[in-house]
Amino acid sequence: MLVATPIAAEYGAWIDNSGPWMCYPGQAYPVPALPGCRPLLKLQCNGSEVPEAVLRDCCQQLADISEWCRCGALYSMLDNMYKEHGVQEGQAGTEVFPRCRREVVKLTAAGVPAVCKLPIVIDASGDGAYVCKGVATYPGA
């Protein structure tokens, strides 16, 4: 406990018992993560209008996840999508959504918290943001 105490205090664990250590797939969010966000991602990525029901479903699923874990859930969603399509990390030329390049999928996923107007925590200081950095830079997604 002595080792964990400074880390837990740094993340404010004694206040609300939340932090990045709580973000394990299957515990902090279901696996597969955010199934309601896949249609949103596809529509946005292809430049299509997103129906209100699709937006609501995705945003509700994201809202149910701690702000510490939302980017991790988006990362997990992208990872699962590519694995389902047989894409290996770093493999080029295979797209999950037709007419939507991998880079655009990553950037679109990174912006989902902003679309939903849901904050995320970006570092140990607890500073908030609305765009996931890790999702946008993940090379395999």
3-state secondary structure of 133: helix
Q: Does residue 48 sit within a domain?
A: yes
> Is residue 52 situated within a structural domain?
yes
Domain CATH number, residue 60: 1.10.110.10
pLDDT for 13? 39
Q: Decide if 91 is inside a domain.
A: no
Predicted pLDDT at 27: 75
Identify residue 50 by its one-letter amino acid code: V
**How confident is residue 3, by pLDDT bands cut at 50, 70 and 90?**
very low
Residue 131: inside a domain: yes
Residue ranges making up the domain that contains 52: 36-85+98-137
Alpha helix segments (H runs only) across the chain: 4-10, 13-16, 37-45, 52-63, 70-84, 102-110, 112-115, 133-137
d(CA 44, CA 38): 10
Both tokens assigned to 118: 């849901």
Percent of the chain with pLDDT over 90: 31
Our separate counts of H helices and E strands in the chain read 8, 2
The per-residue pLDDT for range 33-73, each reduced to its tens digit, is 899 999 999 999 888 999 999 999 999 999 999 888 898 89
The per-residue pLDDT for 89 is 58
Across the chain, what does the average pLDDT equal?
Answer: 76
Distances (CA, A) of 37 to 8, 12, 34, 90, 108: 31, 29, 5, 23, 11
Instruction: Compare 93 and 10 and report the one with higher pLDDT.
Output: 93
Does residue 69 or residue 136 have the better pLDDT?
69
Going by pLDDT thresholds of 50, 70 and 90, the confidence category of residue 24 is: confident
Q: List pLDDT tens digits, range 97-115.
A: 777 888 888 889 999 999 9
Could you tell me which of 23, 1, 14, 3 has the C-alpha nearest to residue 120? 23
Q: Is residue 8 part of a domain?
A: no
For position 12, what pLDDT does the model report?
40
**How many domains in the chain?**
1
74 with 35: CB under 8 angstroms?
A: no
